[in-house]
Amino acid sequence: MAKKNILVVEDEEDILELVSYNLVREGYTVGGVHTGEEALIAVNRELPDLIVLDLMLPGLDGLEVCRQVKSNPRSQAVPIVMLTAKSEESDIVAGLELGAEDYITKPFSPRVFLARVRAVLRRKSRQVEDETTTLRVHELVIHPGRHEVKTGDGEVELTSTEFKILHFLARRPGWVFTRKQIVDAVHGMNYPVTDRSVDFQIVGLRKKLGAAGAYIETIRGVGYRFKE
């Protein structure tokens, strides 16, 4: 199997070296650049399998790089893992809403970093689940065509919105989604629903699922994910 090619975009030389060293040791082919402008040139020249992207870059910042990569039909499928400071919750949310797949806060453990990279690449390599296919995850059985959800305790009656939220999250275990992403996926872009409404739906969904409701995890300051 060919080595995965990872592009690391980081202006701090010591962090770039640390990230690159650990990725190479893991068996990846790594390219490193220091600016957003260089990143876009590199992506245009050869599509990587994944981009590790620092958000705090001189000149063209990481959010703009993410926006341009994800808005380009040629590169929009390339997964992006953001590197952020702990105080950048708003930037994390913005990056996820632009299409980034995951984020890692600095300082980080190399082992945790590599595990997150592997998880993103693994999710990317899976065939996208068909919307009409019965989904089995943990003890849940979700049938989109029948609008049916079953747990070990039997069938669970959900509203249309609750079902759509559960199906959206459960099809992508481990992925973190903002409230806006959830609304866009369930109702379409620019639907007038507040963050509080999404939280209300999640509370109701967890309650109806019983013990299985614990699989829907709250990511503080960001949104929600279905436990992998």
Give the per-residue pLDDT at 188. 63
Please state whether the predicted TM-score (pTM) of the whole model is above 0.95.
Answer: no
DSSP state, residue 158: -
Q: How far apart are CA 126 and CA 122, in angstroms?
A: 7
Give the per-residue pLDDT at 189. 55
CATH code linked to domain 5-125: 3.40.50.2300
Please give the backbone phi and psi of residue 131, each rounded to the nearest 5 degrees, phi first. Answer: -60, -25
Among the listed residues 18, 5, 29, the one whose alpha carbon sits nearest the alpha carbon of residue 54: 18
Taking residue 130's Cβ as centre, other Cβ atoms within 10 Å add up to 10
Q: For the residues 30-52, what does the mean pLDDT come to? A: 95
Angle at 209 between CA 203 and CA 210, to 5 degrees: 95
Which residue intervals of the chain bear CATH 1.10.10.10? Answer: 135-226
Give the per-residue pLDDT at 217. 95
Give the per-residue pLDDT at 145. 79
Q: Encoding tokens for residue 16?
A: 């770039």
User: What's the mean pLDDT when you consider all of the chain?
Assistant: 87
pLDDT for residue 41 is more than 90: yes
Q: Element (H or E) spanning 105, and its range?
A: strand 102-106
Give the per-residue pLDDT at 172. 87
Task: Out of 24-38, 114-128, 178-192, pick the least confident.
Answer: 178-192
pLDDT for residue 201 is more than 50: yes
CATH 1.20.1560.10 describes domain 135-226: no
Amino acid at 80: I
- At 127-186, the pLDDT tens digits run 444 556 788 888 899 988 788 999 888 899 988 888 989 999 998 888 899 988 888 877
Give the per-residue pLDDT at 122. 84
Residues whose CB falls within 8 Å of the CB of residue 107, separated by 6 or more in sequence, listed in order: none
- At 107-119, the pLDDT tens digits run 889 999 999 999 8
Give the per-residue pLDDT at 127. 45
pLDDT for residue 191 is more than 70: no
Amino acid at 143: H
pLDDT for residue 190 is more than 60: no
Which residue intervals of the chain bear CATH 3.40.50.2300? Answer: 5-125
DSSP3 helix / strand / coil % (the chain, rounded to 5): 45, 20, 35
